[in-house]
Structure 1
Amino acid sequence: MTRDQSTIWLVALCLGLSLLVASAHAEENVFRPEAGKFPPLDKAHAYRGELVFVDHANRRGSIRVEGMGVFRMNDPHPFAMLPYGMVRYHGAPADLRDIPLGTMLHVRAFLPPDPKTSAVPVLPINNKDKDANHRRGIGIFPAENHVLLLEDEPSHCLREGHVWKLKELEIKNHEGTLIASRESKNGTEGKTSEETLSFDAATRVWRGRKCLRIEHLIADGIWPTEGKKALGGQSVQLGITWKPTLGGVFTRFHISDIWLDDAAMQNAAMQQTELHKAFIRGRWMPAWIDAVEYGKFGRAAVTATLFGGMDASLYAEFSKGTAALMNGVENTLKHTEGGTAGPTQMAARGKLLDVTQLPGNAPLGSSGIQIRFETDLITEGMRPTRIVKVRPNSWPDVHLPREEYLGNGASNIDERFPTPAIFPNY
C-alpha cells in the first residue's frame, strides 16, 4: 500500500468513525417514550395527512402525509398507535375502524419506543428533514410514526378552540369551492391564511339534528344555484377529506361535512361517543401495571393506571368493591390470553380495592385514574409496565373475532405481524 493509499484509507476510517460517533450522539439526544411513562405532548412531532389504509385489529395504518409538493404523489406512510394512543372522531372517542378512508387527520407522534418490536418500519431519526424529491418535498416520511393523538378536523378544532370561517362560495351544478380560514373561536389569534376547499352534491350539511344536502341550501335560498356569494365569515365546523382534483391543482382538500351550529356538532359527538362506549365495554378498558404486591399461592394486589380518552361514564363504572376481571394484552391491545372461549376464561378475577383520582392534570394518554385490583390467581401478563385490559363484571362477556386476540400467549411473531398466509386459499 502506497503512502497516498494509506492516507486515503486513514481519512476514510476517521470519517466513518466520526459519523458513527455523531449518529450515536444524535440517538442519545432524541426522545423516545418509555414504558410506564406517558410522554409529554410538547415533545411530539405534529403533521397532517389522509388516512389511506387501516389495520384496525393491530391499531396501525397508513397516512398520506401533507408536504410542500404534489399531495397525490406522496406514498402512504405507515403509523402505529401507542398502547395509550388516543383516536378522536367528530369530537368524541373513537377506534381506527370508525374513521372513513380519505379523512384528513392531525397527528401527534413519537419515534418507536422500542425499535426492535415496532409494528411498522423503523426509519432514520432525521427522516422528517429529508427531501423526498422536488415534486413531493420535505417531511412526508417522518420517523415519528408511533401515535399519541390521532384526530379528525372537527376534533382538532374543538380541542384547540378553533372554527372555520366561510368567506366566499362559488357553485355550479351543486358543486364548487369555498374560501375559508381556520381561526380562533374567540378571535384572539392574528391574521390567518385563507384556503380554497371543494364541495359537491355528496357533502353533508348538518343543522341541529337534521342532515341536509347542498340542494336543500339552494332550495331554501341560502346558497345560489350558480355563481359566487360572500358568506361574511360564517362560523362552522368542517369535516375534511381528500380526493383527486381537476385542473392540475397540486393540493386541494375536500369538504365531507359542514356543521352549521353547536347543536349539530354536539349531536355528531354524542353518536360517536355511544358507538365507542359499546366498543370499549365489549373489548375492555386498557391500562398499564404500575406495581404488583405478591402474596401467597398466586394471590396479588395489582396497581394499574387506566388509559385516557374514554367517555367519563365508562370510568364511573370503576368503583371500590366492584368485582372485575383483568387480562394481559399486547401493545396493539390484543388480548394475549383468551383463545376461542374469549378473554374471560383466562383472565384474573377479583375485586377493586381502591379507585383513586391522581393529583394534578393527567397527561394525554392517561385517565388520571388509578385502580388497585386484588386477585387470588395472578397471570403471567400482569407485571409492572405491562399492558392489561380490565372490565367490571357488569360489562358484557362477549367472544372476540379471531383477528382481535393472540393464541397461545402470542408466542408466534407471525400472529403479531400477520404474513400473507392469513388469507385463506379458496
Structure 2
Amino acid sequence: MTRFPRRLTVFLFLTCVTGPFGSLLQAQVAADHVLQPGKFPLPNTGTYLAGELVIVDPVNRRGGLRLDGDGGERYHAGPLHYFAMLPYGMIWLNGAPAELRDVPIGTHVHGYFYVPPVGEESTIPPLPKDMEQFQLKHNHAVSLEDDFSFYQRRGQSWQVVSIDANKGKINVAPSGQMAKDGINTPYTFDIEDVTKVWKGRTLVDLADIAPEQVVQFNLGWSPGWRDKEFKVSEIWLDDDSRKFATDLQRRRHVKYQKQRWLPGWIDSVEDNDFGGGTVTLTLFGGMDPSLYAELKATQEKGFGVAVAEKSLRTWFHRSDKKIGQVIEWKEAENPPPGSSGIQVRLKFTELLDGYRPGRAVRVKCHDWLFVTMPSEERLKTIEEQKRSAVFSLP
C-alpha cells in the first residue's frame, strides 16, 4: 500500500552504535541485556548456549536445540530449547554465512542468546507446566555457528593426537588461539565409519586421519551426550578441504541473498509535504562482503526496498517494493553485533506504509535479477502473518 504526503525527506539511515563504550555504560549492562526495538545489542552481552540442532522452521528462522549435556536430568526428561533468530541474527556454516535451512539437522551449533526483545515475549511460547523447571529465558539468538565456523573464526583449530578406529575414538588437542567458549582443552570424541572425512575435494577413509594433522570438524550426537560426549560427524584434514567447503557454502549464501535481497531495518523516515520522502536504514551484518560491494558499486542506479517481517519474510517482494535513489552511503567501523555498519539514505517519490522506524526491510541491488519466491516463503494474508508471529512448538 502506498503512503502519501506528509513531509519532504525520509532518511533510510542505516544507524548503528559505533565506537568504544565508556566504562559507565559497560557497568550498566545487566546480566540479562534486554533488547530494545530498533537497537542492536551491546557487544559481549549475549548468553552462550550450545547444542544439537534438532528441529527447524527455516521459513521463520526458528528451531530447537538439544542442549549440551550437563550431567543433569534435562537430557532424559527435559524439552528442547526452542529459539528464534533475531532479525539481525547471523548464521555460519563451514566458515561462511548461511541460512538456518542450510544447517543439517543433527549439527552441533554454538550461539549467543538474549531474553526476548521488548514486544517479542510471546514469539516462543512458554513450556507446559510439567516442563517449567527446564525453561530457559534466553531464546532469541544473535548468532548461530557450527563447530567448523565457531572455532575457525576465533582462531582455534585442532591437532590430532591419536585415533583408534577399532575403538571408535579420536583424541585431539586445541591449537592456535583458544576460544573463550566451547571446548578449549584436549578432548576425546567418538568417531565412526560413517564419519565424513575430507581431504582436498575428496571423501577419504578413517585410515587417512593421522597424528599431528591440523583439522576442523563438526560434531553430532553420541550415546553419552548427557555427560558431554560427542561424535565427530564430519572432519576436514587440510586447508584445501576447508577452503572448498567454505567456498561452496559462500556461493550458496550469495545466490540466496541475491534472490531474496539483503536484510536491514529502517531507522528514520521523513515525509515530504507533497508525497514521497527520505528514508534512513541500516543493513544487517553477517553477509558476504561481495554483496555489500555490489550494492555500493551500483548505488547511483538506486535500490529496491521491500517491507519484511521480523522473520525477514516478505510478501510479494518483487512487486511490493519501491525504488529509492541513494543520497548518502556511510560505513562505520566496529559496528555492534548484528549490524554491518553501513548507513544509507534513500529518497523516494512514494513511500510504502511499512516504511516505519524499526521495521525490517529487504534491499535489492539494481543489477540482481528479479525472482519470484516459492509460495510458502511469502506472506499472503493477515491471518498467516499473525500465525507466523508465534513459534508452533511440536
Partner SS, residue 38 of structure 2: coil
Q: Which residue of 1 aligns with 2:265?
A: 288
One-letter amino acid of the structure 1 residue matched with residue 170 of structure 2:
L
Contact 2:89 2:338 in 1 (8 A): yes
Amino acid at match of 1:144: H
SS at 2:90's partner residue?
strand
User: Given the alignment of the two structures, is residue 372 of structure 1 paired with residue 348 of structure 2, yes or no?
Assistant: no
Distance 1:388 1:403 in 2: 19
Listed as ranges, the gaps of 5+ residues in structure 2 are 1-29
1:148 equivalent in structure 2: 142
Matched ranges for 1:208-219 at <5 A: 208-214=200-206, 217=208
**Are the aligned partners of 2:54 and 2:64 in contact in 1 as well (CA < 8 Å)?**
yes
Residue 372 (structure 2) aligns with: 399
Select 1:271's aligned residue among 231, 248, 266.
248
In structure 2, relative to structure 1, the CA distance for the partners of 1:392 and 1:166 (3 Å cut) is same
The answer to whether residue 279 in structure 2 is matched with residue 302 in structure 1 is yes
Aligned-pair identity (%): 34
Q: Higher Cα Rg: structure 1 or 2? A: 1
Match of 2:309 among 330, 334, 340: 330
Q: Does the CA-based 8 Å contact 2:32-2:114 persist in structure 1?
A: no
**Distance in 2 (alpha carbons) for counterparts of 1:82 and 1:187:** 24
Q: Which amino acid aligns with 1:68?
A: D
Structure 1 position 212, deviation (Å)? 1.6
CA-based RMSD of the aligned residues comes to 2.9
Contact 2:92-2:149 at 8 Å conserved across structures: yes
Question: Aligned with 2:55: secondary structure?
Answer: strand
Distance 1:80 1:59 in 2: 6
Please give the alpha-carbon distance, in whole angstroms, between the structure 2 residues aligned to 1:288 and 1:147.
Answer: 17
Q: Greater relative contact order (Cα 8 A, min sep 6): structure 1 or 2?
A: 2
1:312 to 289, 307, 312: 289
**TM-score relative to the length of structure 1:** 0.77
Contact 1:324–1:352 under 8 Å retained in 2: yes
Q: Tell me if structure 2 keeps the 8 A contact 1:65–1:141.
A: no
Structure 1 residue 203 corresponds to structure 2 residue 191: no
Q: Which amino acid aligns with 2:360?
A: I
Partner of 2:108: 104
Q: By how many angstroms is 1:141 displaced?
A: 4.3
Deviates more, 1:140-149 or 1:57-66: 140-149
- Matched AA of 1:299: G
The residue aligned with 2:87 is 83
Matched residues, number: 356
Cα gap change, 1:351 to 1:192, in 2 (>3 Å): closer
Give the 3-state SS of the residue equivalent to 1:196 in structure 2: strand
Aligned twin of 2:330:
356
> How far apart are 1:296 and its partner, in Å?
3.4
**Which residue does the alignment assign to 1:179?**
171
Question: Would the aligned equivalents of 2:113 and 2:139 in 1 still touch at CA under 8 Å?
Answer: yes
Q: Which moved more, 1:204-213 or 1:57-66?
A: 204-213
Instruction: Tell me, in whole angstroms, the C-alpha distance in 2 between the residues paired with 1:187 and 1:44.
Output: 16
Distance, in Å, in 1 between the alignment partners of 2:388 and 2:158 is 44
Aligned partners of 1:273 and 1:311 also within 8 Å: yes
Paired letter, 2:68: E
> Taking structure 1 as reference, are residues 186 and 331 closer, same or farther at Cα in structure 2, changes over 3 Å only?
closer
Aligned mates of 2:361, 2:368 — CA distance in 1: 16
Give distance in 2, aligned partners of 1:307 and 1:154: 23
| Structure 1 CA distance for aligned equivalents of residues 132 and 348 of structure 2 | 54
The normalised TM-score by structure 2 is 0.82
1:324 aligned partner, one-letter code: F
Deviates more, 1:398-407 or 1:93-102: 398-407
Q: Secondary structure at the match of 1:407?
A: coil
How many Å separate the matches in 2 of 1:407 and 1:76? Answer: 30
Q: Which runs of 5+ in 1 are unaligned?
A: 1-27, 124-129, 133-139, 224-230, 421-426
Task: Determine the structure 1 residue equivalent to 2:219.
Answer: 240
Q: CA deviation at 1:192?
A: 5.3
The answer to whether 1:257 aligns with 2:234 is yes
**Is 2:49 the partner of 1:47?**
yes
1:162 is the counterpart of 2:156: yes
Offset of residue 408 of structure 1? 3.9
Q: Judge conservation of contact 1:72–1:244 (CA < 8 Å) in 2.
A: no
Distance 2:31 2:200 in 1: 50
Aligned to 2:65: 63
1:123-160: CA deviation from partner (whole Å, max 9, x where unpaired): 8xxxxxx995xxxxxxx642111000100101111121
In structure 2, the residue corresponding to 1:344 is in which secondary structure? coil
AA aligned to 1:204 is K
CA distance 1:394–1:207, change in 2 (3 Å): same
Change (3 A) 1:397 1:166: same
Distance in 1, Cα, partners of 2:178 & 2:227: 32
Residues 91-135 of structure 1, C-alpha deviation per residue, up to 9 Å, x if partnerless? 100000000111110110100002555421358xxxxxx995xxx
The CA distance in 2 between the partners of 1:209 and 1:116, in whole Å, is 44
> By how many angstroms is 1:409 displaced?
5.3
Shift of 1:210: 2.6
| Cα distance change, pair 182–118 in 1 and its aligned pair in 2 (3 A) | farther
Q: 1:384 aligns with which of 357, 364, 368?
A: 357
Offset at residue 166 of structure 1 (A): 1.7
Assess, with a 3 A threshold, how the Cα gap between structure 1 residues 100 and 161 changes in structure 2: closer, same or farther: same
Match of residue 135 from structure 1 = none
The residue identity in structure 2 corresponding to 1:142 is L
Instruction: State how far apart, in whole Å, the 1-side matches of 2:236 and 2:363 are.
Output: 36
Residues 41-79 of structure 1: CA distance to partner in whole angstroms, max 9, x if unpaired?
A: 411100110000000001100001114126742421100
Distance 1:193 1:141, change over 3 A: farther
